Each structure stands twice: as C-alpha cells, then as structure tokens.
Amino acid sequence: MKLICVDDENLILELTVSLCEDFGLFDEVKGFSNGKDALVYLEENKPEIALLDIDMPDMNGLDLAERIKEVSPATSIIFLTGYSDYAVDAFSIHAAGYLLKPISRDKLLEEIQFALSERKEGNSDHVIAKTFGNFDLFVDGENVIFKRSKSKELLAYLIDNRGGTVTRAEAFSALWEDGMYDRAMQKQMDVIIRSLKDTLKDYGVSEILETKSGAMRIVPELIDCDMYHYLDGDEEAVKSYRGTYMSQYYWASLTEASLLDDY
C-alpha cells in the first residue's frame, strides 16, 4: 500500500512522513511540498491514502483533493490543517478524515486505520475476481469484456501474484512461454498493457492497477478474490474450491498445485 503527504511546511511534512513510515502499514510513503509534484506522482501511482494540508500557495488542499479524486477515485483523503474553518468544505469532498494541527501520533494513526477500514468495506464487492475454474472479472456484477485476450491474461497473472510487482519481461515470459522478448514483442507488450488500462478505465476501476518504471502490480485490497479468501482460510472459499484454478492459463498450474496441496 502507498501513502502520500502534501504540506508546504517542510518540518511538518518530514514529521508526518516519518510517523507514517513508523506505523508499518505502507510499502511506500512519499512527501511533497506542493500539489503539482504530487499530481505528477499520481500519473503512475494510486496511493490508498493522501494526507493533505489545506492552506497552501498555488494549489490549496481542497483543489488538490478534487484533482486527486479525478485521477484516483479510490484514494482516501485525510486533511491536516491548522484551521477548523475548512471542515464543511473538506467533508463536501467526501474526505475520510480531518485533523487539526498540531497532529498527535495516536490521532493520525486512528484516522488512517479508519480510512483503510472504510476502503476495505466499500470495495468488498465492487471488483470481484473469480479464479476457481476459469478466470473472470466482475465490476458491480457485470462481467468485464476485454478487447484483447492477452490483456485479460495479463490481469489474471497479476492477480495470481497477489500484489507483487511484476516487470514487463516477467509478464511476457508468462504470457508467451517460448517467445523471444525482442523489440517487436516489447511493442506488443505496450499494446497489451495499454489495452488493459483502457478496459479498466472504461469500467471505472483504474485504481486496481499500478504501473511504474516498467513494472506493474494489482492492488489486492481493492479486489474481492476467491483465491485470496481461500488462502486466508475463509470457510466459504474453501468449500467452493473444486481443484481447478484459472484453467485457461498454463502458468496457473503452479498455483493450482499449491492450492491442491492445501486442499
């Protein structure tokens, strides 16, 4: 999981980033002194939490929050400010939290944990990945139709990796077992990834995929997946497993064998 903090006061920014790193809840914590740099980061990253100061020059926290919601709707916003006057405006943007400075460690942790719990409950059945048998993805009950079969397979492979980062070369090796990753196939991978992004965008779930510097991952916290529930020991998921997993993909046989051992 990822968190960003945006505050034009460097001492407060450094303190807040340090606290969030100490919580141990996030794989990456980034601090920005202005909204412009934060938005550049958001072009390739979709953080779970954004901590925003409100009273900032050039772009205030309220305007920044609206921009963040446009590019990453699933990001939860928590405002950190020295003024209580902004509370009504903050919650009109559906902020997950509002803290007055100076910020205490316990209060900050409490707000972050609450926001994360709300995300989990709010997304529990929005995006559903069915992996037992053949692989399919559903958004609000609708079966997602992919323009390219390899884009669907790529998403399946990322889901199989359970949030782990996968390079383009690794994904290619899975999708084309005996293929040569030459210049032409690198371009083909670009087409596949772009098609996947377009499909997820069409269904309003772009936030489940993160891409950065030639690597990609899905955000498992935003996906209700039968295999994830199975590994967590969920009784219903265990009962629903019949010994087959993503049957249309040869690379899934390794996971299938592991599941069968558990079964």
Mean pLDDT of 251-258: 91
Average pLDDT of the residues in 236-248: 88
Average model confidence (pLDDT) for the chain?
88
Around Cβ 84, how many Cβ atoms within 10 Å? 9
The mean pLDDT of 57-75, rounded to a whole number, is 86
What's the pLDDT at 249?
Answer: 94
- Tens of pLDDT along 13-55? 999 999 999 999 998 999 999 999 999 999 888 899 999 998 8
Domain 2-122: CATH superfamily, name plus number: Response regulator (3.40.50.2300)
What pLDDT does residue 152 have? 97
Query: Percent of the chain at pLDDT above 90?
Result: 54
Are 161 and 225 a contacting pair, CB within 8 Å? no
**pLDDT over 70 (residue 234):** yes
- Whether this prediction's pTM lies above 0.85 is answered by no
CATH classification of 127-262, choosing from 1.10.10.10, 2.40.50.140, 2.40.170.20, 1.10.3720.10? 1.10.10.10
pLDDT of residue 96: 73
- What pLDDT is attached to residue 225? 94
3-state secondary structure the chain: CEEEEECCCHHHHHHHHHHHHHHCCCCEEEEECCHHHHHHHHCCCCCCEEEEECCCCCCCHHHHHHHHHHHCCCCEEEEEECCHHHHHHHHHCCCCEEEECCCCHHHHHHHHHHHHHHHHHHCCCCEEEECECCCEEEECCEECCCCCHHHHHHHHHHHHCCCCCEEHHHHHHHHCCCCCCCHHHHHHHHHHHHHHHHHHHHCCCHHHEEEECCEEEECHHHCEEHHHHHHCCCHHHHHHCCCCECCCCHHHHHHHHHHHHHC
Q: What residue spans define the domains of the chain?
A: 2-122, 127-262
Give residue 236's pLDDT band: very low, low, confident or very high (50, 70, 90): confident
CA atoms of 103 and 23, how far apart (whole Å): 15
Residue 136 pLDDT > 70:
yes
What is the dihedral angle through the alpha carbons of 35, 80, 112, 161, rounded to the nearest 10 degrees?
10
Per-residue pLDDT tens digits for 161-207: 999 999 999 999 999 988 888 999 999 999 999 999 999 999 889 98
